[in-house]
Amino acid sequence: MASAKASVATRRRARVNLLPFFLLLPVMVVFLAVFAPAVIHIFLQSLWKFDSFRLAIVRDLTAANYVKFFTDAYYLNVLWLTIRISLIVTGISLVIGYCLAYFIFYRGGRFRTYYVLILLSPLLVTVVVRAFGWLLFLGDNGLLAQFLKFVLRTDSPPRVIFNEQGVILGLFHVYLPFMVLAILGSLQRIDISLPMAARNLGASAYQAFTRVTLPLSLPGVFTGSVLVFVLTMGSFAVPFLLGGGKVPMIAMQVYEKELVFINWPFAGAMGFILLAIVGTVIIFSGRALERGKYGVVFQ
Amino acid sequence: MIHVELQSVRKTFGSVVAVNGVNLSIEKGETLALLGPSGCGKTTTLNMIAGFLDLDDGNILINGKVINNVPPNKRNVGMVFQNYALFPHLRVYDNVGFGLQMRKVPKAEITEKVKRALDMVRLPGVEERYPKQLSGGQQQRVALARALVFNPDILLLDEPLSNLDAKLREEMRLELMDLRRRLGITSIFVTHDQEEALVLSDRVAVMNAGVIEQLAIPTEIYEKPKTGFVASFIGEFNKMAGEVAEIGSGGAVKVKIAEGVVIKSNQGYGGKVGDKVQVMIRPERMRLSLQATASDNSFPVKVEKIAYLGMVIRYYITIGGVRCVVFVANRGDRLNIATGADVHVEWDNEHSLIAGL
Ligand SMILES: Nc1ncnc2c1ncn2[C@@H]1O[C@H](COP(=O)(O)OP(=O)(O)OP(=O)(O)O)[C@@H](O)[C@H]1O
Ligand SMILES: [Mg+2]
């Protein structure tokens, strides 16, 4: 009797679990049929040699591309630069994005939907157009430069574009909405009586936030941070347009190697290194959070 | 000594008046039930006492001091929320100990007090579990332990038993009664279950549309409802409209319901002969018998319908053109009355309550 009940229960659970699988099936078929062979091909290619005199791929199995990346100071610098910019952009978006999400959710009142719409409106414009917008605003003859020239009475005001700050600013602007949306989503799932209960038990408004609201919103913080980090790590257009050629992030290098130098094996190797780093960061940060003090909120 | 006092407290949300001039005073150690239908302002009242909502008007006093502007964390009021509001990311230990941690109690003392609080609600040894690993009844106990562990001056409970199934609710009700007696803490609890209100409280405040309609001890609320709303909200009543036919001495009143149907009461009436009034009689105060007896009120009737509910049997009859119901305790003899039987309904003078129309 008991075992019959148990088997009914497991059968029911199995049925529930299969539904998402079936819904994902079309996507998975496309992925496996189109995307996977391409990825495998690129991976194999990254293990081949490139003859830079004849500009041709030689099909000899070798780890040389990977070795070169990790021994050449230039590429190590590219990697470090990319990681550094991604961390900074993620950090800034996290702090500002959290404040924005918190404000929209708890202070937005009946204007909440409008704030979210305003937040999302930049997503209607492509990244390239937005980068050009920044160029117009921050460029050498842009509004800001004119203003600084006037205020500081100098012909060469400090530049905030065509350098790392410019790229960080541009990336922050492009990816902030993702962070806010993720955090907003997790704030919405917090029962409003929980911070109230904290206050009732003697917590100040600040303590209620740090002890209750913040830990419970960690899933949103994690999702938002992963999204922004991954998108920044692979970003191409913004560093290309706003970096003035001085901010060689890794995706730009892949582009250059692939299309300018036609060195597909090395480009492929860089692509895989990027993929591996991003994957490792996601998996390990996820694990760390699940094992951490508030791991239970991730289950 | 008056512990908690509400003076003409008013709260509106936009155009909705949630609480409209509530006056209440609660003695130290007393348990007050706020009883009323959904949306009548019970939670709003409780939230204002806890300090979650600002008042639009009026004052809330604790120990004679106005506390309108004291933030919730400084009120030392324990609260059990309707959905318990246990912190899902914290173990039971940290949930129950939260109030003590906020008060900077030393760790060893917290451990000791949390253990005692969990023992008190008969849930020892669950410190390491997370709320979602507990059943509804267990979560309710943890919420209670959490609200009591830091020795609050006042305990507020918002429908503490409404999320439990009937059997568990009964059990927790008895435990709450017992706990309340042992602790002697001033408490206010919200409910829309009249039985709960009558059983658990020293006094009941019946609320309707943001005002308190009657504030009295449970027996008085049940026996002498002051308004038509209270009468219809608590228990059931047979209501018959009629005209005052005679006002005698010692509270004796006769009300004519229909031709030949005059109901006698000894509950008094302040008006005059000829007034239109309503006579209200509790169904369980009426009796059915096969022969007419010398009761104060006795009328021949026909049994129209019988509803067998197990513990009681409800007999539907008509008196003077008004559909009435009689509750008869199921003593096992079944009275031998079938549908369509001719019987007599009777009751004593004192059970006929008279209210103005
Ligand atoms: N935050 C709010 N904003 C707007 N209206 C509210 C708010 N809180 C309560 N109300 C309104 O105030 C009235 C009283 O609400 P309250 O929650 O006090 O009712 P209640 O007696 O606790 O009801 P229930 O038994 O359903 O819990 C209701 O009409 C409700 O719609
Ligand atoms: Mg309520």
Residue A4 has pLDDT above 80, yes or no: no
Over residues B77-132, the pLDDT tens digits come to 999 998 999 999 999 999 999 999 999 999 999 999 999 999 988 899 999 999 99
Q: What is the pLDDT of residue A16?
A: 62
Residue ranges and CATH numbers for the domains of chain A are 38-51+58-290 (1.10.3720.10)
Of A294-298, B104-108, B189-193, the least confident = A294-298
The HSE-up count of residue A99 (CA atoms within 13 Å, CB side) is 5
Among B73, B89, B146, the residue with its CB nearest the CB of A199 is B73
Rg over alpha carbons for chain B, rounded to the nearest Å, is 25
Q: What is the pLDDT of residue A5?
A: 44
Q: What is the pLDDT of residue A7?
A: 45
DSSP B75-118: S-EEEE-TT----TTS-HHHHHHHHHHHTT--HHHHHHHHHHHH
Of A61-75, A266-280, B166-180, the least confident = B166-180
Over residues B214-248, the pLDDT tens digits come to 999 999 999 888 888 898 888 889 999 999 998 98
Average pLDDT of chain A is 87
B77 Cβ under 8 Å from any chain A Cβ: yes
As a whole number, mean pLDDT of residues A251-270 equals 87
* Angle of CA points B42, B48, B50, to nearest 5°: 105
Residue A53 has pLDDT above 90, yes or no: no
Distance CA A232, CA B330 (A): 76
As a whole number, mean pLDDT of residues A30-44 equals 89
Q: Which stretch, A44-58, A144-158, A189-203, A236-250, has highest mean pLDDT?
A: A189-203
Over residues A193-240, the pLDDT tens digits come to 999 999 999 999 999 999 999 999 999 999 999 999 999 999 998 999
Using pLDDT thresholds of 50, 70 and 90, give the confidence band for residue A3.
very low
Residue A186 structure tokens: 């997790």
**Distant-in-sequence, close-in-space partners of B119: CB < 8 Å, separation ≥ 6:** none
Of A122-126, A187-191, A225-229, B75-79, the least confident = A122-126
A93: left (phi over 0), alpha (psi -120 to 50) or beta: alpha
**ipTM of this predicted structure:** 0.82
From the CA of A110, how many Å to the nearest CA of chain B?
Answer: 12
- In the DSSP assignment, the letter for residue A158 is P
| CB of B240 closer than 8 Å to CB of B263 | yes
Pocket of ligand 1 (CB under 6 A): B 13, 16, 18, 36, 38-44, 192
Q: pLDDT > 70: what percent of chain A?
A: 95
Q: Which of A106, A200, A296 to mutate to test the interface with B (most CBs of B within 10 A)?
A: A200
SS3 A24: helix
| CB of B257 closer than 8 Å to CB of B240 | yes
Write out chain B residues lying below 8 Å of A216, CB-based: 88-89
- The H-or-E segment that residue B8 falls in is strand B2-13
Average pLDDT of chain B is 91
Beta-strand pair B342-347/B322-329: unpaired
Using pLDDT thresholds of 50, 70 and 90, give the confidence band for residue A79.
very high
Distance CA A228, CA A233 (A): 8
Q: Do B79 and A200 touch (CB under 8 A)?
A: yes
Over residues B236-284, the pLDDT tens digits come to 899 999 999 989 888 899 999 988 899 999 888 888 888 999 899 999 9
As a whole number, mean pLDDT of residues A98-120 equals 90
What is the atom index within ligand 1 of the atom nearest the CA of B45? 18
Using pLDDT thresholds of 50, 70 and 90, give the confidence band for residue A15.
low
Distance CA B10, CA B22 (A): 7
Q: Do B89 and A201 touch (CB under 8 A)?
A: no
Over residues B284-333, the pLDDT tens digits come to 999 998 888 888 899 999 999 999 888 899 999 999 889 999 999 888 77
First to last CA, chain A: 31
Q: What is the pLDDT of residue A258?
A: 81
Residue A281 structure tokens: 């960061």
A96, exposed or middle or buried, with CB in 10 Å at 0-12, 13-18, 19+? middle
Distance CA A215, CA A204 (A): 16
